[in-house]
Amino acid sequence: MKTWNEIFKEISEKDYSKKLKEFLANERKSYIIYPPKELMYEAFKLTPYSKVKVVIFGQDPYSHPKQAMGLCFSVPNTEILPPSLRNIYKEIGLEYHIDLGNKGGDLTYLAKQGVLLLNPILTVRAYEPLSHDNIYYSMFTRDIILEIEKNNNVIVYLLWGNKAKYYEKYITNKNHYVLKANHPSPLSANRGGWFNNGCFIKANEILKSHNIAEIKWY
């Protein structure tokens, strides 16, 4: 089975990847970019290709200082919980009948269990959400999914919101499952389709049915 490093080496030879590299080099000359360069690929470092059990898509990194850490939705434990992460914890609490009110925001514990916490856009200018939303990252994320689709292990995709659901068309492996819900952001979650959607328990039920260790979500 391939490694992420081997996959990145193949991707790096594509035209769009070279253009993305140039784009980021120019951006870093003029702007503060998050997450720090050394954390840009943290999701892949913490969740090896062969260990992926669940894939969660975010959007782009947090654009405020000290928040973005290379894992979607995650912030260091020293930071206040962003609203979407607060709603993720609320949903876990509803499904498992527990209170996660005092839980810190670092989701490294999930990444180490095989949850790939992937932002389709890996970088952002400080204080400018979606400033790096471009065709290069769209092609990068497409290629990452197509590589995951070559992995015949059982994998569960959690697609939250329309931007995540866009990538469903690339998910074709018969060993892979898709669970969809509204985005956990307050604007979306409060319209329905997020709270009590059951995605965390359902994901574990799928893993368990294939004799795969479940994710400890809390």
Residues annotated as catalytic are 60
* Cα–Cα nearest to 57, from 141, 134, 146, 170: 141
- Contact between 130 and 124 (Cβ < 8 Å): yes
CA dihedral 88, 90, 96, 100 (to 10 degrees): 100
Find all residues with CB under 8 Å of 37, minimum gap 6, and list them: 28
Whether 60 contacts 124, CB under 8 Å: yes
CA 46, 74, 35, 188 torsion: positive or negative?
A: positive
Q: How far apart are CA 171 and CA 21, in angstroms?
A: 27
